[in-house]
Chains A and B, each alone.
Chain A
Amino acid sequence: MIKFDNVSMRYPQGLDALTNVSFEINKGEMVFLTGHSGAGKSTLLRLILALEQCSGGEVIVNGANLGRLPRSRIPFHRRQIGAVFQDHQLLFDRSVGANVALPLEIAEFPPTEVQRRVRAALDKVGLLNKERMLPARLSGGEQQRVGIARAVVNRPRIILADEPTGNLDPELSAEVMSVFEQFSHVGVSLLIASHDKSLLENFQHRTLALDHGRLISDG
């Protein structure tokens, strides 16, 4: 599903965000990505989403070499991935429901299907009763869960999550992780970036550890 082959990433300012990183994530696998702030976790996730292009090596996602992917195909590549961002990336002038519906509307799903899937996704994160509210009226944890609902609503093949439980209390964190595990059971590959040690200890999954842009452990 996801393959990094000797991937390096150097920003134009000369900063080496990743250096010779290689790993592979298979279908239905749930993997944690850990490391201190600035270790390269977000850059790695951005490379998978084709938000950045690596300066060395190859990133292969769903069989497609992202370095060779034509610009016109990038939107379709991104639609196969559900992304949860650390800063939520919600549209604050749209309701919770409209935010969750965004990936479905981009993919031009019929409105009835959009409504059905949005309600199901909100139900999964326990926000069904807040569908019509504006995100600004939600707490940080609730906004995080809206972001999670939006990431899973399109039933993606891959879910990338950057600190998905950062704003959640332990009980909600456990619930969200349980939702992620259910996705992995039905064949979705997950890569969850987190430096929450308790989370990594409570959920025993393969962990990729980054340090100054280098992969220092995989296991």
Chain B
Amino acid sequence: MAKIKQPNTKRTPATRGGAPSQFSHSRIVVHRKVASESLRQLLRAPGTSGLVVVVIAVAMMLPALLLLLTSNLQANMGSVEKAAQITAYFYLAVPDDKALEVSERLQSMAEVADVDYVSASDALTEFSQASGLGATLQSLAQNPLPSALIITPARSSPDTANTIEQSLATFEEVEFVQLDYLWLQRLEALLSLVNQLGGLLLVLVAIGLIVIIGNAIRVGVESKREEIRIIKQFGGADSFIARPFLYTGLYLGAAGGLLACILLLLVLSSLGPAVAEVASLYDSDFQLIGLSVLENLLLITAAAGLGWVSAFTSVLRKIATISA
């Protein structure tokens, strides 16, 4: 038999609140051991943990998809907005030189990117060709179409459009200004609303996930009630007992986040051709763009964090209720 040694009388982790420096390395080793043991426990019950992971993934994917679609649309709004232009129509009596003068003055404005002058005769020619009413139009005594300016704003904002509109109102030669911004403003407001709904949904999903993961882990704690009681009798602190459950929450969240990324990729790839077809009908090269590597990592990290938080909030309270 081995020789009996003196009891621990110096300050060791067994007798004091924290671990001395020589134990800091071992604490990392212990964490590594607990982390791998928690992972093994999860893999031993793939059915139960798999179900929780799928629930997390679907719950995470829905708001993420909504936010991704609106961000895709918003990203493409820029090109649509650039195409939106302001058209200023002159009075019929305004001669070309006067109209060109207005055009030059507008061109000097910071808010204006480009100004195209369409003379009355050019407008008539274009209309004749496009309408097929060339002979009828030629029979008219005078050109009924006014000359016009097609103005492209430097920035695609309603404010810029309003500034340009106000400037045009100061020219007495201009009879009528047509703005193409109203529908864009409506679309922008709609996208902003959908974006806010996505954010709200994300918050609700986060709360739901905290409940789901917390409940799954609470069941795990309950099934280990006797073990927890014994560990407490030997001086296991609540934080020590909670450790494997916190890792479980972290793993469940991370796995759910990873699966959500994969599901997003699958959904976007399946929607891609249909979206491209619809876009082509509107002469657009609009394409759905998925999450970047960084955004994927962010989603997984957020899900893992959520898993940890839900485990933390549920487990410590539950463990505290189990007496040694």
Contact = CB atoms under 8 A, between A and B. Distances in A.
Interface in B96-140: none
Interface residues of B, number: 34
Given A75-B232, A79-B14, A80-B14, A156 B30 contact: no
Interface string B219-250: 00000000100111111110010000000000
Contact of A79 (B5, B15, B29): B15
A182 B7 CA distance: 11
Nearest to A83: B233
Interface residues on A, range: 35 or more
Contact of A188 (B7, B26, B27, B324): B7
Interface string B5-32: 1111100111111010001011101100
Interface in A191-218: none
B30 A105 contact: yes
Contact of B25 (A51, A110, A120, A186): A110
A108 interface: yes
A108 B233 contact: no
Contacts of B45: none
Given A75-B235, A78-B235, A102-B234, A108 B5 contact: no
Given A76-B15, A76-B17, A107-B12, A155 B233 contact: no
A106 B234 contact: yes
Interface string A81-125: 001010001110100000000110111111101000000100110
Given A51-B324, A186-B7, A79 B234 contact: yes
B27 A108 contact: yes
Given A75-B232, A102-B234, A105-B30, A154 B14 contact: yes
A157 B25 CA distance: 26
A48 interface: no
Contacts of A39: none
Contact of A78 (B6, B33, B234): B234
Contacts of B323: 51
Given A76-B16, A77-B235, A89-B230, A179 B23 contact: no
B230 A123 contact: no
A113 B14 CA distance: 14
A184 to B, nearest CB: 9
B17 A89 contact: no
A123 B25 contact: no
B233 A111 contact: no
A140 interface: no
A68 interface: no
A33 interface: no
B227 A91 contact: yes
B324 A106 contact: no
Contacts of B293: none
Interface in A119-146: 120, 123-124, 126
A93 B231 CA distance: 14
Contact of A124 (B2, B25, B26, B236): B2
11 contacts: A51-B324, A79-B13, A103-B14, A106-B231, A107-B14, A107-B235, A108-B13, A108-B27, A124-B2, A156-B14, A183-B4
Interface of A: 49, 51, 72-73, 75-80, 83, 85, 89-91, 93, 102-103, 105-111, 113, 120, 123-124, 126, 150, 154-157, 179, 182-183, 185-188
Closest 4 CB pairs of A and B: A79-B235, A78-B235, A110-B26, A79-B14
Given A106-B235, A187-B6, 16 more contacts: A51-B323, A73-B17, A75-B232, A75-B236, A76-B17, A78-B235, A80-B14, A83-B233, A89-B233, A91-B230, A106-B234, A109-B23, A110-B29, A111-B30, A124-B4, A156-B7
